[in-house]
Amino acid sequence: MKTIEDLDVAGKRVFVRADLNVPLSDGRITDDGRIRAVAPTIAKLVERGAKVVVASHLGRPKGAPDPQFSLAPVAERLGEILGRPVAFATDTVGESARSAVAALADGEVVLLENLRFNAGETSKDDAERKAFAEQLAALADLYVGDGFGAVHRKHASVYDLPALLPHAAGDLIATEVGVLKKLTEDVKRPYVVVLGGAKVSDKLGVIDNLLKKADRILIGGGMAYTFLKAKGHEVGISLLQEDQIPTVLGYLAEAEERGVEFVLPVDVLVSAEFPDLKGKTPANPDTVASDEIPADKEGLDIGPKTRELYAAKLADAGTVFWNGPMGVFEHPDYANGTKAVAQALIDSNAFTVVGGGDSAAAVRILGFDETKFGHISTGGGASLEYLEGKTLPGLAALEG
């Protein structure tokens, strides 16, 4: 895979496919981590005299302009981070985009409007996708893929466009791939995987693959209750995927067969109602053993004994991959499980990887120093699919 060091970018229009899919609340960015992650690549291209055309998606608009998903606030924040103005085109391949790109001088930057405002970006029809990619290609001389959070998508700007222009991977993607190789090849042991989040079905592929590689797997979050139910425990009104119980039982049996330590919560925080995440009024949860969840209550975080147990299971790790919070971390009464895992990663001497998505958001929201972790990924879904052993369309396109 070529990198931007292999491209002669001076005076050239360089199309940078970034992942600027940041969370917005009332038009304000609540977490700029993805913008900061791609900024060094853009800055490097600017310093080398490129005319930089940045493009990204944001949210899931229905293939047409939708003001709530505009990238305008992102253009402003990107300019602040880069310390230079970033022009903003109000469309993707229309008059605004064409004139904004034509006006670029060497070392200047423009951000195009949300790629998903055009149906061709996400189309399942190869011809429609390619037609949109050709319109994007007309805006540039070179292509740099640096939107790691989107490389598992077969989208026009990720998969079709690189085939139309000389291309290379940006520094962010090169770093992400290097880190993921450390999790799949020549792993420093013990290798501990921490998985959380809402649904066990979201993690089936990664569990299946990592059972062959990990020494220990720790389970938390909403997905834990399907495992606890599979063990025959009452889980009350907790998140549960009954249809996944046979699969979960298979994983538990395989783990035992392979000598992989599979660790489930020993206690949990429960409540009869889901917490208020806006006003964040006190929730006053009860702590119960994980095999004694009342029938009318819901598990919402791992308990204090589990926090201690998981910290101990992480203490001697050589490598840790963490994807998914341990509970409803957005509420202070249910954030302690996720905090405990994050702190255990910091306290260990392991190479630690936070696998994007809610885990990365939690690290920032809960106030941890990002530099204390080995790597914080910008792509939760992409990281998981890589670890499942899948071919990622965006990476395949860059290697072509």
70 alpha carbon, distance to own chain's centre: 20
Active-site residue, 34 included: yes
* Residue 285 contacts residue 301 (beta carbons within 8 Å): yes
Q: Give the residue numbers of the binding site.
A: 19-21, 34, 57-60, 116, 153, 203, 299, 330, 356-359
Residues annotated as binding site for (2R)-3-phosphoglycerate? 34, 116, 153
- As annotated, the binding site for substrate includes 19-21, 34, 57-60, 116, 153
What are the boundaries of each domain within the chain? 4-170, 179-387
Closest CA to 150 of 161, 166, 134: 161
Q: What pLDDT sits at residue 89?
A: 98
Longest dimension (CA), the chain: 67
Single-letter code of the amino acid located at 199: K
Catalytic residue among 12, 13, 17, 34: 34
Q: Are 57 and 121 in contact (CB under 8 A)?
A: yes
| CA–CA separation, 156 and 38 (whole Å) | 20
User: Active site includes 390?
Assistant: no
Whole-Å CA distances, 282 to 205, 235, 267, 333: 37, 23, 20, 7
CA distances from 112 to 37, 57, 98, 393 (A): 18, 10, 10, 22
Task: Write down the catalytic residue from 357, 379, 380, 394.
Answer: 357
Residues 348 and 194: beta-carbon distance below 8 Å: no
pLDDT, position 41: 98
Give the per-residue pLDDT at 88: 98
* Domain 179-387 part of CATH 1.20.1090.10: no
Residue type, 107: G
User: Among 199, 231, 364, 390, which one carries the catalytic annotation?
Assistant: 199
Two structure tokens written together for 170 = 């940006």
Q: What is the CA radius of gyration of the chain?
A: 22
Q: Is 83 left (phi over 0), alpha (psi -120 to 50) or beta?
A: left
The DSSP code for 236 is T
**Cα–Cα dist 14/168, whole Å:** 11
Among left, alpha and beta (phi > 0; psi -120 to 50; other), residue 234 is: beta
- 357 catalytic? Reply is yes
Calculate the dihedral angle through the C-alpha atoms of 203, 383, 389, 125, rounding to the nearest 10 degrees.
90
Contacts of residue 306, Cβ cutoff 8 Å, sequence gap at least 6 = 220, 265, 266, 267, 268, 290, 337
Query: Of 3.30.70.270, 3.30.70.20, 3.30.70.100, 3.40.50.1260, which CATH number belongs to 4-170?
Result: 3.40.50.1260
Question: Which positions make up the binding site for ATP?
Answer: 203, 299, 330, 356-359
| pLDDT tens-place values along the chain, 400 residues long | 999 999 999 999 999 999 999 999 888 998 898 999 999 999 999 999 999 999 999 999 999 999 999 999 999 999 999 999 999 999 999 999 999 999 999 999 999 999 999 999 999 999 999 999 999 999 999 999 999 999 999 999 999 999 999 999 999 999 999 999 989 888 999 999 999 998 888 888 899 999 999 999 999 999 999 999 999 999 999 999 999 999 999 999 999 999 999 999 999 999 999 999 888 899 989 999 999 999 999 999 999 999 999 999 999 999 999 999 999 999 999 999 999 999 999 999 999 999 877 898 899 899 999 999 999 988 888 888 988 888 999 999 999 8
User: pTM of the prediction?
Assistant: 0.88
User: Does 4-170 match 179-387 in CATH topology?
Assistant: yes
- Choosing from 222, 355, 381, 394, the catalytic residue is 381
Is residue 318 left, alpha or beta, with left meaning phi > 0 and alpha meaning psi from -120 to 50? Answer: alpha
